[in-house]
């Protein structure tokens, strides 16, 4: 892929070229590598980071170590979203705090809040958001755009789009000021994904809104178009899977199945493994309705295996609901009833999490209502 110039990347390149202090130039190189990771240019970023790790292995510097930990964390996060990303970001935050690097600490705390949100650790999310907003200066667009995005997606997940929209706008404004196309892409991805998830929740719990589906599809298409424009590829398999999810809810099952068959395996390699069971359940639903019962059952059994493992209720609830419908059509009514019971439990847990999100975010948004 030919990557178009990014304002942030161009600025970093210019600053590196102009910097006469070797350490400061290398710190800018780490920041540049962290951006490349978020843009999807992971191999190039990892090569740069490996060089810098080797260069400073024999003469450690706490600021360099903190920046390298942040960049390494993002490389892990955008690869598999595994526990290594959390550990490395915690190290970045701790090192930056010990060294008095308040702005790097604010940025690390914002990313920790993002990871806490995905793990549904709402208490930790609130602590890290408050820390990021407290420490970040008005010029720290990296911290403010990410922290604001976490707030927005938290409220949006809780179906409070009215509260989410001002924070989406704050995130967008900070990212534009920074020239950060990767964050703008993430904002669009997250907004489209949550909209689609809320739409699927409505459909599976009996209150489907067709109009919401059209909005979700337009949001997904806009996300794809923006990524093509700016060269973002960190989640290039997710957009077609998002399309497939929306098309499944809309009953356009042949089109959805084609997208799942083409992109589901690559999505796992891009950190979407936690959603694999739910996507497989949707794929099984497509197959069983398209008169492919044997293939549908294979998908359903594999989806059941994934969903029975530990995971977040927001990923598992729709999967169990979908499997209940699949197994009912396959005539396996006991298995269908089991999944229905599991789904009910997961939906109840998710409702409590939505309440918890609003409760956790409200004191923060009340205190930091202005970012000026």
> CA–CA separation, 109 vs 91, rounded Å?
11
Token pair of 180, please?
């950060």
pLDDT (0 to 100) of residue 227:
45
Long-range contacts of 339-342 (CB under 8 A, 24+ apart): 339/304, 342/307, 342/316
Distance, first Cα to last Cα, the chain: 38
Dist. CA 309–CA 246, nearest whole Å: 25
| CB burial of residue 63 (10 Å; 0-12, 13-18, 19+) | middle
Hey, what are 304's tokens? 């059941």
Instruction: Give the per-residue pLDDT at 270.
Output: 45
DSSP letters, 68-106, are HHHHHHHHHHHHH--HHHHHHHHHHHHHHHHTT-HHHHH
Residue 20's region, left for phi above 0, alpha for psi from -120 to 50, else beta, is: alpha
How buried is residue 308: exposed, middle or buried, by Cβ count under 10 Å (0-12/13-18/19+)?
middle
| 148, 178 contact by CB (below 8 A) | no
CA distance 354 to 159: 8
Using CA of residue 351, residue 153, residue 285, residue 298, what is the dihedral sign? negative
Give the whole-angstrom CA distance, residue 365 versus residue 162: 13
Residue that has been written with the tokens 């930790």 in this structure? 124
Distance, CA of 95 to CA of 174 (rounded, Å): 25
pLDDT at 1: 45
Q: What is the pLDDT of residue 240?
A: 87
Classify residue 4 by its DSSP letter: P
Q: Residue 62: how many CB atoms within 10 A of its CB?
A: 13
Give the integer Cα–Cα distance in Å for 91 and 297: 44
Are residues 44 and 240 in contact, defined by beta-carbon separation less than 8 angstroms?
Answer: no
Show pLDDT as tens, one digit a residue, over the chain (372 residues): 444 568 899 999 999 999 999 999 999 999 999 999 998 889 999 999 999 999 999 888 999 999 999 999 999 998 877 789 999 999 999 999 999 999 999 999 999 999 999 999 999 999 999 999 999 999 999 999 999 999 999 999 999 999 999 999 999 999 999 999 999 988 988 888 888 888 888 889 886 554 454 555 555 445 544 444 444 444 566 788 888 998 999 899 999 999 999 988 875 544 556 788 999 999 999 999 999 999 999 999 999 999 998 778 888 999 999 999 999 999 999 999 999 999 999 999 999 999 999 999 999 999 998 754
DSSP state of 274: G
Distant-in-sequence, close-in-space partners of 228: CB < 8 Å, separation ≥ 6: none
The whole-number pLDDT of residue 236 equals 61
- For residue 349, with 0-12 CB atoms within 10 Å meaning exposed, 13-18 middle and 19 or more buried, which class applies? middle
In the 8-state DSSP scheme, what is residue 3? P
- Whole-angstrom CA distances from 189 to 66, 175, 209 are 28, 14, 21
**What's the pLDDT score for residue 82?**
74
Q: Long-range CB contacts (< 8 A, 24+ apart) of 98-102?
A: 98/62, 99/62, 99/63, 99/66, 101/63, 101/66, 102/135
User: Which pLDDT value is given to residue 305?
Assistant: 94
Of 51, 44, 37, 140, whose CA–CA distance to 89 is shortest? Answer: 37
């Amino acid at each position: 892929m030919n990557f178009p110039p990014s304002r942030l990347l161009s600025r970093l390149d210019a600053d590196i070229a102009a910097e006469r202090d070797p350490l400061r130039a290398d710190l800018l190189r780490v920041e540049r590598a962290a951006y490349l990771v978020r843009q999807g240019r992971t191999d190039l970023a990892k090569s740069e980071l490996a060089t810098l790790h080797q260069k400073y292995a024999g003469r450690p510097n706490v600021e360099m170590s903190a920046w390298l930990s942040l960049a390494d964390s993002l490389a892990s996060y955008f690869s598999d979203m595994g526990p290594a990303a959390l550990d490395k970001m915690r190290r970045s935050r701790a090192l930056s705090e010990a060294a008095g690097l308040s702005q790097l600490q604010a940025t690390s705390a914002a990313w920790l809040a993002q990871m806490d949100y995905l793990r549904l650790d709402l208490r930790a999310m609130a602590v890290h958001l408050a820390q990021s907003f407290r420490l970040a200066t008005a010029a720290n667009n990296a911290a403010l755009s990410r922290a604001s995005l976490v707030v927005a997606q938290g409220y949006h997940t809780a179906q409070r789009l009215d509260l989410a929209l001002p924070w989406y706008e704050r995130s967008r404004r900070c990212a534009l000021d920074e020239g950060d196309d990767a964050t703008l892409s993430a904002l669009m991805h997250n907004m489209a994904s949550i909209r689609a998830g809320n739409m699927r929740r409505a459909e599976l719990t009996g209150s489907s809104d067709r109009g919401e589906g059209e909005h979700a599809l337009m949001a997904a298409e806009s996300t794809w178009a923006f990524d093509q424009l700016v060269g973002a590829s960190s989640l290039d398999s997710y957009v077609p899977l998002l399309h497939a999810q929306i098309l499944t809810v809309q009953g356009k099952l042949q089109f959805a199945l084609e997208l799942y068959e083409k992109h589901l395996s690559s999505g796992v390699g891009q950190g979407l493994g936690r959603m694999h069971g739910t996507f497989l359940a949707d794929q099984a639903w497509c197959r069983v309705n398209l008169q492919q019962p044997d293939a549908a059952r294979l998908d359903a059994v594999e989806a059941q295996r994934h969903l029975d493992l530990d995971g977040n209720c927001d990923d598992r609830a729709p999967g169990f609901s979908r499997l209940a419908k699949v197994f009912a059509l396959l005539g396996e009514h006991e298995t269908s009833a089991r999944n229905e019971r599991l789904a009910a439990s997961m939906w109840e847990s998710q409702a409590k999490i939505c309440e918890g999100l609003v409760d956790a975010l409200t004191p923060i948004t009340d205190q930091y209502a202005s970012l000026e």
